[in-house]
Structure formats: C-alpha cells, structure tokens
A and B are shown apart, each in its own frame.
Chain A
Amino acid sequence: MTKILEVENLNVAFNGVRVLEDLNFSVEDGDALTIIGPNGSGKTVLLKTLLNLIPYQGKITWKKDIKTGYLPQTLFLDQSLPLTLREFLMSKINVTKTDPNDLEETLKLVRLPEDSLNHSLGRLSGGQIQRALVAFALIGNPDVLLLDEPTASIDPPGEEQIYDTIHNLQDMKKLTVIIVSHDLSLVYRYATKVLCLNKQQICFGPPEETLTTKKLEELYGAPHKFYHHLHDGSTH
C-alpha cells in the first residue's frame, strides 16, 4: 500500500501554549484512521492542522495531487438564512469544477431525499445537516475524507446510519478516511488504525494491538466502564 500522509515531529501552539506535541504517524491508501482522546486533547486541532487551516511546526506530507474532503464538527448556521441545500452543495460543485450531474448521485449515497434539495439549511434536522455535510465533503471526488465527529448531534440510530454510510462509501469509492470520534466501539468495528491523542501521541497502530487497558487508562485517566462496552458482543 502507498503512503498517503506522513506526519513528522508535528507541533502546534496557540499563544505559546502547546496544543499538540511531537506527533509522528502515517496513513496509507485505504486506511481508516480513528483519532480518539478526551475533550481538549487536540483532536479537532490535529484535523485542521492536517488540512493546513492552522499554522504548525514540523512536517506534514500528503501524497502528490491528493484531494481531501472535510466535514467540520459544527457548522455555525444562521437558521433564518434562506440558503437551500441545493445552493449549498452547488457552491462546492462550482468551486471544485465538478459535474453538476453528480449532485443527485451524491445525495443518494448519503441517503438524503431529492426534495430536500429545495429546503433551506435551517429547515433540515440535525441528522439531515450531518448527511448534507457528508455529501458536501464527497463533492469533488476526494481521495481522503477527514471527518470531525460526524455524529456529534445525532441520536443513536441516526449515528449508526451515518457510520454505515461512511463505511459503505469507503468500500465503494476506495476512500481513505481519517475520523475523529468519541465512540470507542466504532474504533473496533471500522478502524484499521487508531491514534490516541492527549496533546501527545499516547498510541498509534492497529486497534487490536494498540488499545490495551493500560493505554486507555493513560489516555483517559482512571479506569472506565467502557471496557465492558468494548467487549460486549452487542456492539459488533
């Protein structure tokens, strides 16, 4: 497999306070990398740094001509703005010079009904917005998807659907996925690699080898009930 992303000695600081310290990892073509860590551990900062939205020190090397799709954690949306879903998605189609006919297919991939195109974003439910954002990330045929807590504001059944959708897309389109998540069961189900982050890199590698009880304790502090959850057959 070819290397798609290489991160070496990555450091990020805000006003002299170090937020990410000395990260080293790589992502290969077709990988599903999940970044886990407690609140404030720098997960979102890492994702934004990889996308060159935040200044950093160190080296981030993407494979040449790679196209990325990004799903932010939240979209601060003026609910009363009459911007339709079609106009929102068309803005990216236009900027990335994608064929507008791809719009319907993308909508089907994220399981959004076609009539939702004419609804304003403010009228869509939390789950629909999240799907719309996945659709937005998919426009322009990216090779890599970077997703920041794609199920942040969604109820458990909706969460399940979103992850299934992403997983199916990964299989169908041979995408590489980098995903920030709180959900450890997800790591076991879908991730080929996991990066544990608490400002520093606590662990990195295939989840079954990397996520030891000791590492999780180091990452989250005191022992947690999620160990039971992890080995509970119902999550698989």
Chain B
Amino acid sequence: MVLPISFTITSMTEALTSNTLYINLAIGMASAAGIIGPFAIMRRLALASDPISHVALPGLGVALLLKINPLVGAAFALIIGAILIWQLEKRTGLSTDVLIGVIFSVSLALGSLITPDEELIDALLGSYTSVGLIEFIIGLIASAFIIGFVLYQKHRLTLASLSPDLARTSGLDTNRLNLYFLLAFVLTMILGLRYLGVLLMGSLIIIPAAVGKNLGWSLNSMLVVGSITAVLSTGLGLLIAPRFDLEPGPAIIVVAAILFFLSFFLKRRD
C-alpha cells in the first residue's frame, strides 16, 4: 500500500497547526529514539549511527524516481544496511569501521546523485509534511514496539553491549539479539527520517543518550533522561523552527546540542 505523503513544504505554520498528527508522531518517535540511544552508545555505535542513517538516501531517491512512498524506499535501504552492519560486526577484523565509513559514505554520494534536486534538502535535513491517519497509526505502533522491545530486552541488551563474551557464557544468543537490536535501531531511524532527514537522524539517537549518560546515576535513569531529552528537543525544535523559517531537523538537533552542553554543567561529580 502506498501511503499518502508529500515532501513539499507547504506553509510551515499551517502544516503545524493543521496537522497535530505530525507533532504527536514526532513525540512517539523521539521517545523511541531516546530509549534506544543509550544502548547504541553502550555498543559503541555512536560514530557509526550517522553513516548508517546515510544509507537511507539511495533508497529514498530510487523511491522518488519510481514515484512510490520515499519512506518505503528508505526503509528498504536501512534494513539492508542493518543486515550489513550485523554481518560486519560478526567479523573480528579491524577494518569494520573503515568498511562502514566507505560503504555508507558512498551511499550518501550515490543517493545525492539519484534524489531529485527539489527533494534533496528535505531528504537530507527533514521537512514539514502532512501525516495521514494510517501513517500515524503505523508510526505510533512502531514507536511503541521499539520502546517495548528495549524495556523487555533491557537486561539482555545490557549484558550483550557490555561484554559479548559474558553474555554468551551466560547463555545468551548474542547473534540473534544483535540483529533484533539493529533492526529496532534502523526502525527508529525510519520513523525519524521525515523530521530529521538522513543527515541528522543519527544525532537524535546519540545526543539525548549522551545527556542521559551525563546526568544519569544508573542505566534506568539514563534511559529516562535520554527519552525526556529527545522528546524535549523534538518538541521545542518543532515549535521554534517555523518561527525562524528553519528546517525542522537542524532546529531539533540545535536544541538537543544545547541540552547536551547544559548537561555538562549539571554533570554529577561524585
């Protein structure tokens, strides 16, 4: 099914007020990004998360050319990206980060060539789009699914992130868990693409988690602080952006960055 979606910017304020679904979906997406982020940091995916989100661009570009929903194309490309990272992680060679750097940067270059010029900035940095009811419901279910997955698998994810050897000797199937995690990770990216674009979505997963790490006193508190930061950044970013005629993605990330610097001053020093 092709979902109704438009990548054209209508009057921003009008889009915001007329589409509460857009805002509500953003909150759901941000909660998911905030809760999965701490595990991405624990798994040392902080640097890789940006290049991973770049892989969405060629899929998005091809979908636009084929005149199907761009998010479907992006989702397809990201799932392939997740499986690729999963395979790379299994290798012990030192070249994994190089491979990630090369493959995913090339995909950004190719995607930029394929994606029509008028859509490129929106695809890179996010945009104001109308969200249909079906899309909203699917998005909300996906957000709830990600949050549920992280909470249900919290102990296993902690162990597998901290030490794969300890996890495996405790009886965990880390290989399968890694795949599930990476799929949940790219699902979060798919949800956030419309708001933050392929360049910035990784940052909404990593920056709030870094705030959680600065302010948290336990893993649980890190998850809570991370989610609150992601929701706050997204909400404030979407509120501020139209007033200054900004794209939503950069506005959200600037707010997140300010919260990150504030968290340095409030950091627990014990």
Interface residues in chain A, defined as those with a beta carbon under 8 Å from any beta carbon in chain B: 48, 51-53, 68-70, 72, 75-78, 80-84, 86-88, 90-92, 94-96, 118, 120, 123, 136, 140
- The answer to whether A48 touches B156, judged by C-beta atoms less than 8 angstroms apart, is no
A128 to B99, CA, bound (A): 38
A sample of 20 more A-B contacts (CB under 8 A), given A48-B165, A82-B216, is A51-B169, A53-B165, A70-B165, A72-B163, A75-B166, A77-B162, A78-B42, A80-B213, A82-B219, A82-B222, A84-B217, A86-B218, A87-B220, A88-B162, A90-B155, A91-B155, A91-B156, A91-B159, A95-B159, A118-B218
In the assembled complex, the Cα of A68 lies from the Cα of B172 at a distance in Å of: 13
6 residue pairs, one from A and one from B, having the closest CB atoms: A94-B155, A70-B169, A82-B216, A91-B155, A91-B159, A91-B158
Query: What residues on B are CB-neighbors of A96 within 8 Å?
Result: 170-171
Q: Tell me the minimal C-beta distance from A110 to chain B in angstroms.
A: 16
> What's the Cα separation between A82 and B213 when bound, in Å?
6
B91 to chain A, nearest CB (A): 12
Q: Across the interface, do B162 and A83 meet the contact criterion of CB distance under 8 Å?
A: yes
Name 9 A/B residue pairs within 8 A (Cβ), A-sorted.
Answer: A51-B168, A53-B165, A84-B217, A87-B219, A91-B156, A94-B156, A95-B170, A118-B218, A140-B170
In the docked arrangement, what's the CA distance between A210 and B24, Å? 72
Given contacts A68-B169, A82-B222, contact A95 B156 (CB under 8 A): yes
For A92, list chain B residues within 8 Å (CB). 159, 166, 170
For the complex, what is the distance from the CA of A75 to the CA of B158, rounded to whole Å? Answer: 14
- Report how far A140 CA is from B156 CA in the complex, Å: 15
Q: Quick check: is B270 within 8 A (CB to CB) of the other chain?
A: yes
Range for the number of chain B residues in contact with chain A = 20 to 34
Most chain A CB within a 10 A radius of its CB, from B156, B167, B219: B219
Q: B residues 148-191 with Cβ under 8 Å of A?
A: 155-156, 158-159, 162-163, 165-172
Chain A residues whose CB sits within 8 angstroms of the CB of B20 once the complex forms: none
Are A95's CB and B165's CB within 8 A?
no
The answer to the question of B221 belonging to the interface, with a C-beta cut-off of 8 Å to chain A, is: yes
Q: B interface vs A, CB < 8 Å?
A: 42, 155-156, 158-159, 162-163, 165-172, 213, 216-222, 270
With a cutoff of 8 Å between Cβ atoms, the chain A residues found around residue B221 in the complex are 82
Contact A136 B169, beta carbon cutoff 8 Å = no
Chain A residues touching B, majority SS? mixed
CA distance A92 to B155 in the complex (A): 8
- Shortest CB-to-CB span from B113 to chain A, Å, is 38
Residues of B within 8 A of A123 (CB): 270
A78 to B42, CA, bound (A): 8
Known: A72-B163, A87-B158. A95 touches B172 (CB 8 A): yes
Contact A83 B159 (CB under 8 A): no
- Tell me if A120 and B220 are in contact (CB < 8 A): no
Question: Is the beta-carbon distance between A136 and B213 smaller than 8 angstroms?
Answer: no
* In the complex, chain B residues whose CB is within 8 Å of the CB of A77: 162
**Alpha-carbon separation in the docked complex, A136 to B158 (Å):** 14
Q: How far is it, in angstroms, between the C-alpha of A120 and the C-alpha of B220 when the chains are bound?
A: 12
Residue of A68, A69, A91, A118 with most partner-chain B CB within 10 A: A91
Q: Specify which chain B residues have a CB less than 8 angstroms from the CB of A88 in the assembled complex.
A: 158, 162
* B155 & A95 in contact (Cβ 8 Å cutoff): yes
* A residues in contact with B42, CB < 8 Å: 78, 81
**CB < 8 Å: which of B166, B219, B270 contacts A83?**
B219
State the CA gap A70–B213 with chains docked (Å): 28
Q: Identify which of B166, B172, B216, B218 contacts A72 (C-beta below 8 A).
A: B166
Checking A68, A69, A72, A82 against B217 with a beta-carbon cut-off of 8 angstroms, the contacting residue is: A82
Q: Which residue of A lies closest to B220 (CB)?
A: A87
Contacts of A53 in B (CB 8 A): 165, 168-169
Bound-state Cα–Cα, A230 to B42, Å: 44
Q: Across the interface, which residues of A come within 8 angstroms of B156, CB to CB?
A: 91, 94-95
Chain A residues near B167 (CB, 8 Å)? 95
Residues on B with beta carbons closer than 8 Å to the beta carbon of A70: 165-166, 169
B residues near A140, Cβ cutoff 8 Å:
170
Q: How far is the CA of A52 from the CA of B219 in the complex (A)?
A: 30
Docked Cα-Cα span, A78 to B41, in Å, equals 10
Contacts of B169 in A (CB 8 A): 51, 53, 68-70
CB distance from B211 to the nearest CB of A (A): 12
The residue in chain A whose Cβ has the minimal distance to the Cβ of B214 is A80
Minimum C-beta distance from A65 to chain B (A)? 12
B-chain residues with CB within 8 Å of residue A118 when the two chains form the complex: 218
